Structure 1
Amino acid sequence: MPSCHDAEMDRAPPLPPAPPVLVGRERERERLDAVLDTAGSGRASTLIVHGEAGVGKTALVRAAATALTDGLALYGAGLPLSNLTVPLLAIRSLVRELPDGVPPLDLPTGHDVADALVGVDAWLDGLVEAGPVALVLDDLHWADQTSLDVLQYVVAGPEHRRLSIVATVRSGAVTDEHPLTRWLADVRRLPRVDEITLAPLDKASTLDQLTNLLGETPHGSLVDEVYARTGGNPYFTRLIAAGLPSDARSLPDEMPGSLHDALLRTSSSLSTSTRRGTQVLAVGGHPLTYDELDEVAPDLGWDGIIPEAVVAGVVDALPGRRFWIHHPLLAETLEAELPARERRARHRAFAQWWEARPPSSEVSAEAARVAYVADHYFHAQDADEARIWALRAAEAAESAGMWSEAQRLLERELAHEPASGAAVARLDLLHRARAAAEMSGDLDTELALVDELLAHVDAETHPLAVADLIVRRASVRHLTGRTYHDGDTLEHAEALARSQPPSATLVRTLAWSAMHGGWKPDRSAALSEEAVAIAHEIGAALGMALTAKSVTAFVGGDATASIDCAAEAVAASVREGDWASAAKSAEYRTCASDGAWSPWFAEQITRDREHLVAAGAPQHEIALFDILEADARLWTGDWERCVAILRSCMATRLQPMWDAGGRLTLGHLAARQGRPVEAASHLARAEELVIDTQSFYELEFDALRAIVALEAGDPDAAYAHAVAGMDFDGLPPNMVEYLLPLAVRALADGIERRRAAGEDVDGLLRKVTELAATHRHVVLDIGEMQPWVVAETEAIQVLYRAELARATASPDACLLWRVATIRARRACLRWDEAYAGWRWAEALLRSGQRGGETTAVLRDAHRLALRLAAVPIIEALERLAVGAHIPLTEVMGHPDGAPAEAPFPGLTAREREIVTYLVAGRTYAEIADALVISEKTVSSHVSNILRKTGARNRIELAVLAEKRRTPGAAPAR
């Protein structure tokens, strides 16, 4: 899906195509819509949109103007004509291709604009008499002076006319001497003139853009790299991502030709000397002052270079009188354009300059200085000096806690062939690089380093080192979704650790084996007890030992013991700097306290995260809390908060296990809201991340597969997935309680479908009978039945019984769906509440009831489904309501009979009236009868309403209306 970009980069025709999907511009779009809406209310207004090239100004204003349905939108643009002067060129572009029925505008051919001022203004007066008019003028910085004069006259025109003017200006293109500078100063003094500046996209919005471009949610590592290189510029992101596969984890080494050409155009206007100066500045790789540039490159005239480069927008003036290339990709391009020999010489000069700088007393600044020296010697191809300084820089980065930087430098050294007899030194580098990768959260790299270390470290000479590596490999393989446990190798690690006196290695080995060594309750409990005893004895690794004891107690159903151990484990892990154990123990403390799908859980897990952040935990160790909170928010109906959390955290590099968890939550939401294709895409990506999905019981693969199949209309597949999930060895999978209700729901759906088609249903009924006979109760998850878990389980159990009644057409169905609705409401299982409400209303209508209870049930379920944006349930309820001739809401009016105000600005009175009826669930025929108009007229009005509101259909319109009427409202209890 194309992203927004600017006309400076890619000139568009005067009449634009359908607007692209914009990301990250909601606030700016609202302001722009408000300006355009003022024309409809009879007031003139002007908005000037500023932003750098490629940031999306053109796409934003075109999308907003194209969405207008009430009135006329005219597009024009300034053009960078350097050898041709055409008077009123920008104004001419506005009227070059007028729609049918719009009178032409005669413009003078000379440079005297006096007649043009009056003529254009009078022509606009005639247009606004017929309806609102929007003038959209792109690239105002290239507009000729005569066009600017006419435009200023129009901006200063009468207040009470239906005219909106929107213009875009490229930041950096307007210097003190530019004609637009005075023009802007003059129009800013006029009333009804506003300005906004588009900033580059943040990382979360870059994630959204990449998702549109690639068709799937990208890997976090790709988002990191794209954002670092493009700086959030949407146009550059579109170019750099062109041709990438949807599963790409990184960018190719070579920059796409289209991006390279676009970047070169940015600096094409520079003089030869200034271009050379910017290339040298790019080689420096760091903002510098005039004096510093004179010191490192005295052969260049910086007093002339920097001002010209700043005026051209190639270089930015930064605080502290420092200067740097405007965009990181531009810096790459400029450096690459410098001849190789000179580039190496300049790198050597910068290396020597940084080497001569006095050391900094601030550890991170000193680590950066030493790294600059190492990097410049490396690019100067001075291998000996580069190696010496890289090792110094890595040590300084380790001391400063700059783990990603340390990892980068150490990996670069490891990439060189080791010198003869340097095996010991290489092992040291491997150990240091592995530790840095662990601390930075780069698990894939760490796993490769662990494997290389295990191939070279002698178990007889260093048994504890090998045991530690085996345990760490098991941990990384688990976190990256490769294997849930490494039983045989863990036994080997335990044997190695036991061959030595009690140690922290033995504690870690026992603790990990207790949690992940193949679940055997008695053995796991014994291992965790032994780990705690040894940890107390030697005074080390107590946090991990207590974490293992908490986990085994939780799985064993002793919540009190799990909570007590977890509290101790959090404190001990924080003291020891074992952030993985601190996070895991905090998670289990909260999980043992009560249900993971409750509002309380969502708030508590947030507090747990904040506590660990304050204690100094790195982001990659606590991102799990975001995933857990998002999932809890989803269950309780706060799906918008869920999406916001996941949108933010999935723009970072998540550990694959947690990445998979986030994608499953997104897939769950997409399925519930009626987007099965999107849901299947999220599910497929999670399955890519976790190789053995059956072993990772923490993740709800089988239940989600069943839900996605149900929403896709494939009950046979849904049944197969649900039944497969109940066939597990060891610990039950997440959402195991839902597998029976989902299996019976799939059978009930299949029975209803076959009955409607006149087909035999005996086989499906036998399966229902077999399930009911085999499973009187839903399958329970691990852990003690705390109060909220009890409430959730009771709700799910009634849901199961209600589905059995639906499948068998039992007369008890109506009562069971009623109880299921009430129980789900009490347990805050909002999606189940909406679904059960639908089935309850359906059962009531099937039993012939059309009274007040049925109406109330229909309306309550519809109201909740709207808040959840649960499109399949909304549509089902509206079909029931239409068939039963029951309005889903009362159409409330004022005493004088006027319709209630619809929650959308910019609609006509008739459109607001129709929205009220649509939200009430009325059909086109009913609306036509009520308003004494034809159904065709209703349909035409609805099309206009959808375009103005951005809704894709009447269901989405109703969802938006409900949301706007109750902003921030929690789902009804």
Structure 2
Amino acid sequence: MASDVDTAPLVGRADLVAAVRSALLDEVAQGSTAAVFLTGESGVGKTRLLREIGARLRDGGALVLTGTCLDIGDASPLHPLLQALRRFDGELTTSHARTSSAVRGLLQMFADETAGPDGAGALLERVSRGLHLIAEGRPLVLVLDDLQWVDRSTRQLLLYLLAGLGDLQLSVLAAVRAESLQGAHPLRRVLTELRRLRTVRVLDLAPLDRAGTEQLAAAVVGRPLSPEAAEQVWRRSGGNPFVVEELARDVRDGRDGLSDTLREIFLSRVDALPQHAHTVVHAVAAGVEPVEHWLLANVVRLPEDQLIEAVRAAVAHRLLVGADDGYRLRHRLVAEVLEHELLPAERAALHRRYAEALTAAPADLHQARLAHHWRLAGEPARALPAAVAAAKEAERLHGYAEAHRHWSTALQLAGATTGGPPETSRVTLLERAAEAAHHCGEHARALTLLEELAASDAGRPACGLHIQRARYLAAAGRSALAEAEYQRALDLADCTPAERATAAAHLAELLLHLGRYADAGHRAREALKLSAAVEGSTSEVVLASAALGFSEAYLEDPDAGLAVMRQALETAERAGRPEDVACAYLHLAELLTGPLNILEEGVVVARRGAERVAELGLGRTYETRLLAIATNGLFRVGQWAEAEKVVAAALRHRPSGADAVELLLARCRLSVGYGDIEAADRDLDAVATVLAGGGARHVLPLLTLRSGLAMWQGRHDLARQAVQRGLTESRSDDGAIVAALVWHGLRAEAEAHASRTVEVDQTAVRRLRGVAERVARRSAGAVRPVRSVVDGFLALCAAEVSRLDGSDPELWARSVAEWDRRNHPYPAAYSRLRQAEALLARRSRSATAAALLRQAYQVAQALGAVPLTSEIRTLAGRARVSLEERTGPAAAAAATGGADRDELAVLTAREREVLAAVAEGLTNREIGQRLFISERTIGVHVSHIFDKLQVRTRVQASAIFLRNRSS
């Protein structure tokens, strides 16, 4: 079942190829024979590996003879060797007359050979001598495929040669289809004998892991798969490369069903089973894996000895996998294929037997399976209570995605039944399903279910409905609508004290997300006052305390505010409600990495919180937002490579709504910094789509990034429009994000002035300066950490204004000092560039300008900030400044060319990873799939690597990598 797709990459086998090549050549070089036998199921890639290793062995100077065994038993003695010799003879040219004569002599010997069994030893000796002549002192490797069909004579030859009985130094590489070695197969005895030899290895070739499966599928399809398609390919294929390629072709060609090729292959494998094993595989295919032995016994109803023998046969044929917890199909495709082989009545009977067996052995963890089997047995009334129990069980374990699935199943079953207890009423099921959808990140689904609930329960109190709708809208990123819903709840006369406390607490948290810290503090105090009169209002106290602490830390007293927030986290942990714990971690990490600029601690808190909320079942929602905060913190301190890894890991959760917005904005900052324009544009468009009704917290960073991206593209008019829109549409108490937007606006005007492509908009300049002055006045009374961050952006604003009528190097020097003090390397490097530019324009202190450019260049190179690097290089070129000039130990090492010099020291951690993959011979697409970043970003990294290493080709870069790795 080998794949015919030679263009597909060899995934996940590089280490194995190298190890096998070394084993075969090194042993022979030491004067002994060696052999490697690769075993594995059909389609796992044995034949492809034989080709790849054979090619590497030829490149290493070995003589490689390749043959394939046929499924015709002993009717063709020594067939694979004869085939290999004929192939080799056909490849020889006239310049190899001596070798060709030896090959033909050996072939003629086979043609003349009439020896019977008594002459077998003599035959083997003559074959050994003939191969010795052909090898002519070179390492000889015999590569044999489909060894499970090997004839008796070839088996004897292998034993003879590998035992060292022949006058020949030989290596053997062979592939064996594991499921064919059943019972007393003669090759099993041969392999048992050969295993005793020190130089013989038998390696079982495992399927690909998940990352390898996705990489192979993406290569066949020609693009990265969507998360849903990747999940389906992995689940159905089990990592078998042949199956992966077939499924990937279906994805590429838009086919939904299972291909006839795969269907027939798996059917033939099942049909080859003994009768009882056939029954067992059908039963496991209908079950929910893993199927425990006791449960399988109750379903198939075979005597114990026959059941064990049937299971053993199914495992030996590589259709089942046995483990301590039960039996699984090796490939889920078997279940898809067999589903259509049973009559409906047969399938229903199987599911009924499963349900009856599970009912007779009650346990909480059986409820999900019980619901599944009763439903497929055609018994919705018996399936419904099991589905409800399964949903509650999942919620107790914080498995909100599973709970949502079970509540949705219960809703479907309720439509097919009548009567039942109150907990199975449609209204109750809608309410529970909506809340589970909200917790697991299915925000649109939660809103849909809520509207259906409102229509089904006309007598439901309006206040609670407004609060619930507001929570779902906020999670979906529709902040303005959420705020209006909370306000409607608070305005209702019949709103209970408990509901009023809940609405106020959630509104305080929402205002915090919108950047309106004063309003958030006001609502938080109101919520705490209301909660004091309501018993059991721990969640409201946690939310309100977190909002109040953030507000106080930003506006009044950082230490006091942080103390309140840490107390809120402790309260949440004691109470144990997952969403409260997540909110407390979220706001604490946001405050540390944002306004207070305590970046290292903030990143630690964010990552610790992400691990904690993942344990609580909130991986798709709060974990992704906490990882976005960590990404932003890492970005600010210049750890871009690490930030890239964090954001890639978070995106695998496939977040939606506000959670997706946070993450996409974080990734976009990296893309803008790297200069990956297409990726940044794509993320910004996605954020804009989600942010209908969003608040300043997200809108202002979105427009700031849009402006920065437009400037790198030279589209200063678009940059201006983005900033003006932000000033018009959004308001925020967060002076830092407003000041960042103003800086981009003034920078856009300065760039327009410098490029002379767009007229400077003096009205816009006056407005921006006015906003900057207001931010300065407002921040003058702010706490020191907050004022410090705002002052950094205001320093940039003042320096940009000076570019409109002659850039002032002193203003840029002040900006450099502000950002160096905060350990923000990127704006510091940008400020050094502009300071150098101002000094050169005044034709003064050229040595200082040159030093500033070199410092900025080193930082930009280390970050991977390609657009900034390009601008520095352009200015240095005009000023005839050498950016590579170094002093101190680095210069001495470069001058002496010392052996301990690390040529890769100039690369970032991410660039080293990319270069290592380049050295493996991977394409940009393959590297992107391995590292979970876009192909275009890989291209940016490769260009950056070439620039730093001063090379022009991938071969030159790879040579430097290999030289430094081995030194």
TM-score (normalised: structure 1): 0.74
Equivalents in 2 of 1:212, 1:846: separation in Å?
A: 51
Equivalents in 2 of 1:637, 1:64: separation in Å?
A: 42
Equivalents in 2 of 1:352, 1:825: separation in Å?
A: 71
Q: 2:692 — aligned with what?
A: 691
User: C-alpha displacement at 1:549, in angstroms?
Assistant: 5.0
Equivalents in 2 of 1:101, 1:699: separation in Å?
A: 75
User: C-alpha displacement at 1:767, in angstroms?
Assistant: 7.2
User: Residue 415 of structure 1 aligns to a residue in which SS?
Assistant: helix
Which structure is larger by alpha-carbon Rg, 1 or 2? 2
Q: 1:296 — aligned with what?
A: 299
Q: Which of the numbers 315, 324, 341 marks the counterpart of 1:310?
A: 315
For residues 381 and 901 of structure 1, do their structure 2 counterparts lie closer, same or farther at Cα, with a shift above 3 Å needed?
same
Matched, 1:10 2:13: no
Q: 1:832 — aligned with what?
A: 827
C-alpha contact 1:398 1:406 (8 A) present in aligned 2: yes
C-alpha contact 1:77 1:93 (8 A) present in aligned 2: no
Matched, 1:529 2:525: yes
User: C-alpha displacement at 1:81, in angstroms?
Assistant: 4.6
Q: 1:179 — aligned with what?
A: 187
C-alpha contact 1:772 1:804 (8 A) present in aligned 2: no
What does 1:936-951 correspond to in 2, within 5 Å? none
For residues 438 and 97 of structure 1, do their structure 2 counterparts lie closer, same or farther at Cα, with a shift above 3 Å needed?
farther
Q: 2:944 — aligned with what?
A: 955
User: C-alpha displacement at 1:265, in angstroms?
Assistant: 6.3
**What is the total number of aligned residue pairs between the two structures?**
885
Question: What is the root-mean-square deviation in Å for CA atoms of aligned residues?
Answer: 5.5
User: Residue 566 of structure 2 aligns to a residue in which SS?
Assistant: helix
1:99-124 Cα offsets, whole Å, 9 max, x none, are 99996875755597767767777777
Q: 2:588 — aligned with what?
A: 589
Q: 1:384 — aligned with what?
A: 381
For residues 737 and 774 of structure 1, do their structure 2 counterparts lie closer, same or farther at Cα, with a shift above 3 Å needed?
closer
Q: 2:118 — aligned with what?
A: none
1:589-611 Cα offsets, whole Å, 9 max, x none, are 34334635822321232344456
Matched, 1:867 2:867: no
C-alpha contact 2:2 2:45 (8 A) present in aligned 1: no
1:899-925 Cα offsets, whole Å, 9 max, x none, are 75786xxxxxxxxxxx899999xxxxx
For residues 896 and 486 of structure 1, do their structure 2 counterparts lie closer, same or farther at Cα, with a shift above 3 Å needed?
closer
C-alpha contact 2:9 2:216 (8 A) present in aligned 1: no
Q: 1:375 — aligned with what?
A: 372
For residues 571 and 72 of structure 1, do their structure 2 counterparts lie closer, same or farther at Cα, with a shift above 3 Å needed?
same
Q: Which of the numbers 332, 338, 342 marks the counterpart of 2:342?
A: 338
Gap regions ≥5 residues in structure 2: 112-122, 165-169, 909-914, 925-938, 950-956
User: C-alpha displacement at 1:628, in angstroms?
Assistant: 1.2
Matched, 1:737 2:726: no
> More displaced, 429-438 or 63-72?
63-72
Q: 2:116 — aligned with what?
A: none
Equivalents in 1 of 2:774, 2:68: separation in Å?
A: 69
Equivalents in 2 of 1:702, 1:862: separation in Å?
A: 27
Equivalents in 2 of 1:965, 1:724: separation in Å?
A: 53
Q: 2:71 — aligned with what?
A: 82
User: C-alpha displacement at 1:580, in angstroms?
Assistant: 2.4
For residues 553 and 486 of structure 1, do their structure 2 counterparts lie closer, same or farther at Cα, with a shift above 3 Å needed?
same
User: Residue 87 of structure 1 aligns to a residue in which SS?
Assistant: helix
Matched, 1:672 2:673: yes
Equivalents in 1 of 2:741, 2:92: separation in Å?
A: 59
Equivalents in 1 of 2:739, 2:344: separation in Å?
A: 65
Matched, 1:285 2:288: yes
TM-score (normalised: structure 2): 0.75
Equivalents in 2 of 1:601, 1:840: separation in Å?
A: 31
User: Residue 316 of structure 1 aligns to a residue in which SS?
Assistant: strand
1:218-264 Cα offsets, whole Å, 9 max, x none, are 77666666655555666656655667699xxxx99855666656654
User: Residue 324 of structure 1 aligns to a residue in which SS?
Assistant: strand
User: Residue 654 of structure 1 aligns to a residue in which SS?
Assistant: coil
User: C-alpha displacement at 1:625, in angstroms?
Assistant: 1.6
Equivalents in 2 of 1:805, 1:166: separation in Å?
A: 73
User: C-alpha displacement at 1:697, in angstroms?
Assistant: 2.9
Q: Quick one: percent identity of the two aligned structures?
A: 21
What does 1:27-66 correspond to in 2, within 5 Å? 29=14
For residues 761 and 389 of structure 1, do their structure 2 counterparts lie closer, same or farther at Cα, with a shift above 3 Å needed?
closer
Residue 569 of structure 1 aligns to which amino acid in structure 2?
A
Matched, 1:571 2:560: no
For residues 622 and 338 of structure 1, do their structure 2 counterparts lie closer, same or farther at Cα, with a shift above 3 Å needed?
same
Matched, 1:431 2:431: yes
Residue 569 of structure 2 aligns to which amino acid in structure 1?
V
1:34-71 Cα offsets, whole Å, 9 max, x none, are 88799999996998877766667788998999999987
Equivalents in 2 of 1:140, 1:150: separation in Å?
A: 13
Equivalents in 2 of 1:841, 1:121: separation in Å?
A: 73
Q: 2:645 — aligned with what?
A: 644
User: Residue 533 of structure 2 aligns to a residue in which SS?
Assistant: helix
What does 1:492-531 correspond to in 2, within 5 Å? 492-496=488-492, 498-499=493-494, 501-503=496-498, 505-516=499-510, 525-531=521-527
User: Residue 729 of structure 2 aligns to a residue in which SS?
Assistant: coil
Q: 2:324 — aligned with what?
A: 319
C-alpha contact 1:89 1:147 (8 A) present in aligned 2: no
1:406-458 Cα offsets, whole Å, 9 max, x none, are 43333223124365678962212223333444454543433222221111223
C-alpha contact 1:74 1:94 (8 A) present in aligned 2: no
Structure with more of its chain in helix, by fraction: 2
For residues 688 and 255 of structure 1, do their structure 2 counterparts lie closer, same or farther at Cα, with a shift above 3 Å needed?
farther
Q: 1:4 — aligned with what?
A: none
User: C-alpha displacement at 1:312, in angstroms?
Assistant: 1.6
For residues 280 and 771 of structure 1, do their structure 2 counterparts lie closer, same or farther at Cα, with a shift above 3 Å needed?
same
> More displaced, 828-837 or 340-349?
828-837
Equivalents in 2 of 1:164, 1:711: separation in Å?
A: 59
1:143-182 Cα offsets, whole Å, 9 max, x none, are 889889999999999xxxxx99988777766668473885
> More displaced, 843-852 or 696-705?
843-852
What does 1:744-783 correspond to in 2, within 5 Å? 744-752=746-754, 754=755, 761=757, 763-764=759-760, 766=762, 770=766, 773-774=769-770
User: Residue 888 of structure 1 aligns to a residue in which SS?
Assistant: coil
For residues 609 and 694 of structure 1, do their structure 2 counterparts lie closer, same or farther at Cα, with a shift above 3 Å needed?
closer
Gap regions ≥5 residues in structure 1: 1-7, 158-162, 360-365, 755-759, 904-914, 921-941, 968-973
C-alpha contact 2:394 2:400 (8 A) present in aligned 1: yes
Equivalents in 2 of 1:726, 1:101: separation in Å?
A: 81
Equivalents in 1 of 2:68, 2:343: separation in Å?
A: 34
For residues 570 and 226 of structure 1, do their structure 2 counterparts lie closer, same or farther at Cα, with a shift above 3 Å needed?
farther
